[in-house]
């Protein structure tokens, strides 16, 4: 028996929801999916795709397409039926009521431990969930909320969904956990779509059931990243806990179809220069040239269109900077992973009173007084570009990304509003 088939059977035995999903899919399409622990780039070459891969128990992903059925992405995870959904809401309400009397948690681990303890206090595991009838509860303490009766399987499901919705990313958790996703897009309460590293753009089965649910989710997400969205401040840029970059648009008079957001996934392990060469992104000769440039303290701008790999390429060449250099980074959203020991990492602050805000322009001016060996700007968009060129003129090498489709467009953008770099500065 092939190892993948044996792994598929083990996964279905361990995860009944996966077995149920596969059985229903085979009954409908007459085509059993293939199970792969990892995906390869060659899988994206064909028209017919029918692949399931794990992203950490109990989550799985099914990618499917035929010549007549467009590509789709299905998140396979345990579900709550309608009756259990009612009990779940009752349990979560009890958890919220009890949580106000607890001390604030100091870590995610403590948060999870407290949550599970409150769920255990609010439930009672029985062989029959219908055992806890109202009559039976009348003999309990009238001043305490009655426990919700659940079976052991239901108890496990409730703990899973409570952790996912309160501690993790809720409906988006499977997408954030999938290492093969590049971008996640949500526009109103339509199905969430994504850009896959192997299969490119496709819709998912992840969806917010109502505009109210989406509205609450976006507000909660903005509060988690420390930049609350509101009607007065509807556009938010920030970074999720895992480093992924997020852009939120909250107000419905700005985002016409309702709250929307885009997430650029963060690669926990930065792409290496050897991977870029293997993928034919750049040649070995071009990589060697960049190595010489960085070793000798040259300034480099990584230019291209949106999602063309500018930041990934810049991150990949950072190890070419001399190991004992002091590196200074200035970013709107935290993305860079610098391997050097002396790394001064700064980020903008675009909220709060006007006098307390810090933009990239201010960070770059501060960099000139910090005596760095290399200044790295996450992205140049405005007047900070003139400061970057001033830094280069005074002998400070600068690395940055910049949106431009060609060298001609690069020069046109730099010498026009709002950057206004004198043409004489561009050697």
> What is the per-residue pLDDT across 90-127, written as a single tens digit (0 to 9) for each?
999 999 999 998 888 888 899 999 999 999 999 998 87
Characterise 223 by phi-psi region: left (phi > 0), alpha (psi -120 to 50), beta (else). alpha
Q: What percent of the chain has pLDDT over 70?
A: 95
Q: How confident is the model at residue 137 (pLDDT cuts 50, 70, 90)?
A: very low
- Taking a C-beta distance cutoff of 8 angstroms, is the pair 193, 203 a contact? yes
Instruction: Give the C-alpha separation, 235 to 343, whole Å.
Output: 30
DSSP codes of every residue in 231-253:
SSS-EEEEE-TTS-EEEEE--TT
Strands laid side by side in the 181-187 sheet: 200-203, 193-196, 181-187, 260-264, 245-249, 235-239
Greater pLDDT, 323 or 137: 323
> What is the per-residue pLDDT across 247-279, written as a single tens digit (0 to 9) for each?
999 988 888 899 999 999 877 778 899 999 998
Nearest Cα residue to 298 out of 279, 312, 280, 317: 317
Name the phi and psi angles at 340, rounded to 5: -80, 145
127: Cα separation from own chain's centroid: 39
Residue 357 CB neighbours (<10 A): 12
Q: Mean pLDDT across the chain, nearest whole number?
A: 89
- Bridge partner residues of 374 (DSSP): 327
pLDDT recorded at residue 382: 86
Three-state secondary-structure class, residue 368 = coil
Instruction: Give the C-alpha separation, 80 to 22, whole Å.
Output: 18
Instruction: Give the C-alpha separation, 53 to 61, whole Å.
Output: 5
Domains of the chain by start residue, with CATH: 1-70 (no CATH), 82-168 (no CATH), 179-268 (3.30.450.370), 273-425 (3.40.50.300)
Q: Dihedral (C-alpha) 207, 212, 217, 220: value to the nearest 10 degrees?
A: 180
Q: What is the mean pLDDT of residues 80-90?
A: 92
Q: How confident is the model at residue 386 (pLDDT cuts 50, 70, 90)?
A: confident
pLDDT recorded at residue 129: 60
Instruction: Give the C-alpha separation, 166 to 224, whole Å.
Output: 11
pLDDT recorded at residue 28: 94
pLDDT recorded at residue 136: 45
| Beta pairing, strands 123-125 & 72-76 | unpaired
Instruction: Give the C-alpha separation, 315 to 270, whole Å.
Output: 7
Instruction: Give the C-alpha separation, 191 to 171, whole Å.
Output: 11
**How many Cα atoms occupy the beta-carbon half-sphere of 102 within 13 Å?**
15
pLDDT recorded at residue 141: 52
pLDDT recorded at residue 133: 44
Q: What is the mean pLDDT of residues 300-314?
A: 90
- Is the torsion defined by CA of 332, 333, 334, 337 positive or negative? negative
- The pLDDT of residue 200 is above 50: yes
Q: What is the mean pLDDT of residues 149-178?
A: 93
Cis upstream peptide for 58 (omega within 30°): yes
> Counting Cβ atoms within 10 Å, is residue 116 exposed (0-12), middle (13-18) or buried (19+)?
middle
Three-state secondary-structure class, residue 342 = coil
> What is the per-residue pLDDT across 201-227, written as a single tens digit (0 to 9) for each?
999 999 998 999 999 999 999 998 888
The 3-state secondary structure of 45-92 reads: HCCCEEEEEECCCCCEEEEEECCCCCCEEEEECCCCCHHHHHHHHHHH
């Amino acid at each position: 028996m092939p190892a993948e088939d044996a792994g598929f059977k083990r996964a279905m035995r361990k995860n009944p929801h996966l077995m149920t999903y596969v059985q229903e899919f085979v009954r409908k399409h007459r085509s059993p999916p293939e199970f792969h622990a990892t995906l390869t780039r060659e899988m994206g070459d064909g028209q017919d795709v029918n692949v399931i891969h794990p992203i950490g128990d109990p989550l799985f992903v099914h990618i499917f397409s035929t010549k007549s059925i467009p590509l789709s992405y299905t998140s396979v995870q345990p579900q709550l039926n309608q009756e259990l959904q009612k009990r779940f809401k009752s349990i979560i309400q009890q958890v919220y009521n009890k949580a106000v009397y607890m001390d604030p948690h100091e870590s995610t681990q403590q948060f999870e431990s407290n949550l599970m303890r409150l769920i255990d206090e609010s439930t009672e595991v029985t062989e029959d969930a219908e055992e806890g009838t109202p009559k039976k509860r009348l003999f309990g303490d009238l001043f305490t909320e009655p426990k919700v009766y659940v079976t052991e399987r239901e108890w496990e499901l409730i703990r899973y969904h409570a952790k996912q919705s309160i501690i993790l990313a809720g409906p988006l958790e499977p997408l954030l956990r999938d290492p093969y996703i590049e971008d996640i897009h949500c526009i109103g309460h339509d199905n969430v779509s994504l850009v896959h590293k192997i299969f490119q753009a496709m819709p998912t089965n992840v969806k917010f059931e109502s505009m109210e649910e989406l509205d609450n989710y976006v507000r909660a997400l903005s509060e988690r990243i420390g930049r609350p969205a509101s009607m007065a401040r509807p556009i938010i840029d920030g970074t999720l806990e895992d480093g992924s970059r997020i852009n939120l648009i909250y107000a419905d008079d700005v985002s016409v179809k309702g709250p929307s957001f885009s997430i650029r996934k963060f690669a926990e392990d930065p792409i290496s220069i050897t991977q870029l060469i293997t993928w034919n992104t750049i040649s070995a000769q071009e990589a060697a040239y960049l190595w010489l440039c960085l070793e000798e303290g040259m300034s480099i701008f990584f230019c291209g269109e949106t999602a063309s790999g500018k930041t990934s390429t810049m991150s990949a060449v950072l190890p070419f900077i001399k190991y004992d250099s002091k590196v200074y980074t200035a970013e709107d959203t935290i993305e860079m992973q610098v391997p050097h020991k002396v790394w001064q990492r700064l980020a903008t602050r675009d909220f709060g009173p006007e006098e307390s805000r810090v933009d990239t322009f201010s960070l770059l001016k501060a960099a000139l007084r910090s005596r760095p060996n290399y200044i790295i700007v996450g992205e140049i968009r405005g007047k900070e570009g003139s400061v970057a060129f001033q830094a280069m003129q005074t002998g400070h090498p600068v690395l940055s990304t910049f949106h431009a489709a060609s060298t001609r467009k690069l020069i046109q953008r730099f010498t026009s509003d709002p950057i206004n770099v004198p043409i004489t500065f561009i050697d």
